Amino acid sequence: MRTPNRVAYWTKTRALMAATLTLWLIFFCLAIYYGAPSKGQGASQETLNGLFGSLSNSYVWGCILFFAASILISWFCGAQDRLDEGSTGASKRQGGKP
């Protein structure tokens, strides 16, 4: 038997999943649009005149993506944790099954 609480929890969980993946898709598209290198761009590490100047574009984009993914996953984890705690607390207060 589905209780309203459980339906709400499941709906919110799926909405959170969809929202997170949509945000990641936006990052993905941005990275492809702005960071996509052309085929001709080769390895740039022949000289080391200035550390930052020598870093390749894809490497910098890689780091940016890692940071974006970390922030997104922390956000997702935090929101899902609050959802779990909220739903568990609500079900305990009602004294029934979650």
Partner 1 sequence: MSLSSLDPHPSQYKGIPLALSLFALALFLLTGLLAVMEKAGVVVVLIEALMALLPLLVFAMVGILARTMKLTEFHWGGKNVPAGLTGITLAACFVGGSFFPLFLSLIFLPEYVSFPIILGWVSSLVLCAVLFASPLRKFGSATIPEFLGVRLQSNLVRLVASGLLVLVAVPLLCAEMLIGGQVLATSLGATATTGILLFAAVLLISVVLGGVSAAVWTQALQGVLMVFACLSPVILLVLDQLTAPLVVEGAEFTSVVGTSLNTQLAAIIDIENTSIGWFLTQGPYAGGLWPLIGTALFFAVGMASLPHLLSKFQGTESSSDSRRAAGYSLSFLLLLMVIGSAYFLLLADERLQSLLGPNALDQGSQSGLIAALIRSGIVAAALAASSALLMALSTSISRDLIETFALPKASLSQKIVLARLVVLGVCAFVTYLTYSQSLLFLDMLAFALSLAAATFFPALILSCWWSRFHATAAYSAMLAGILATVLYAIAVKSGSTGFWFGFPAEMGGLLAAFLSFTVGISLSYVTFSEDERHFHLASLLEQPDERDLTIDIPENSDKDKPEELIEIKT
Residues that bind partner 1 (CB under 8 A): 2, 6-7, 9-10, 13-14, 17, 20-21, 24, 28, 31-32, 35-39, 41-49, 51, 54-59, 61-63, 65-67, 69-70, 72-74, 76-77, 80-81, 83-85, 87-88, 91, 98
* Residue 4: CB minimum distance to partner 1, A: 12
Minimum CB separation of residue 34 from partner 1 in Å reads 11
In the bound complex, what is the minimum distance in angstroms from residue 83's beta carbon to partner 1? 7
Cα 67-69-73 angle, rounded to 5 deg: 120
DSSP state of 45: T
Q: CA-CA distance, 23 to 69, in Å (whole number)?
A: 10
Cα–Cα dist 69/61, whole Å: 12
State the nearest-atom distance from the C-beta of 93 to partner 1, in Å: 14
Using CB atoms within 10 Å of the CB of residue 96, give its burial: 0 to 12 exposed, 13 to 18 middle, 19+ buried: exposed
Specify the residue, 41 or 94, whose C-beta has the smaller distance to partner 1.
41
Phi, psi dihedrals of residue 65, rounded to the nearest 5°: -65, -40
